[in-house]
Amino acid sequence: MDDVRSRAGWRNAFGVIAGALFVIGPALAWLRIVRGIVGFALFALGGIVGLVVGVASVIQAARGRGFGRGGALAVAVGVVFLALASRGAGVPRINDFTTDPTDPPAFTHAVTLPPNVGRDMSYPKAFADIQRGCCADLHPARVRAGAPEAFTRAEAVARQMGLTVTRSDPSAGLLEAMATSRLFGFHDDIAIRVRPEADGHEPDRHALQVTRRAG
């Protein structure tokens, strides 16, 4: 009997810990008290622990031994964690995208930023075929305007989207920016290139090509 109570106590304790990690991790990251990856790790750990303890609690409840508050909390955490994880089912396991897999816009300024020092910021060639299979509709935006106006429009849209512009070179038609996720504060680097249309028949028609590289 004491052994059963002891195990129930441990389940309750770990259920509460799982719930705390599941909430506190994202909260600390959102407040920028810890790095996003740390907050995400705490969140994921809480979800995994909640899933394990939740399953154990359901089994014990089926045997007539009850959930306990910690067990019920673990079940709730496990269900939410599975629901969030299932949203990625069937989605290609790539984080980087470009509108031009053949000649993706390259990063020049982003490679100098502290978080990217030592990283290969080029678009992974292995992703090109995967992207063509999943995202065939991803293509450059086309603008009927001269190069200066097309670039100005591109930069204006980037700022309207809440991106932080880190490099702006109108003469080269190159723009770099950073997107920051609201919750965990993850940074994605974005390169935008303004080029005349390849056929050259319409000099006032430009393509806005983009590469997005996950941080």
pLDDT tens sequence across 92-108 = 888 899 999 999 999 99
Please provide the average confidence, as pLDDT, over all residues in the chain. 90
The percent of residues in the chain predicted with pLDDT above 90, rounded, is 73
Strands 164-169 and 141-144: what pairing? unpaired
What's the pLDDT tens digit per position in 155-197? 999 999 999 999 999 999 999 999 999 999 999 999 999 999 8
Q: What is the pLDDT of residue 2?
A: 47
Q: What is the mean pLDDT of residues 25-46?
A: 97
Burial (Cβ within 10 Å: 0-12, 13-18, ≥19) of residue 62:
exposed
Residue 198 has pLDDT above 70, yes or no: no
Residue 203 has pLDDT above 80, yes or no: no
The predicted model scores a pTM of 0.83
Q: How far apart are CA 22 and CA 15, in angstroms?
A: 11
**Among 5-14, 51-60, 76-85, 176-185, the least confident range:** 5-14
Read off φ and ψ for residue 141, nearest 5 degrees.
-80, 145
Q: What is the pLDDT of residue 35?
A: 94
Residue 1 has pLDDT above 80, yes or no: no
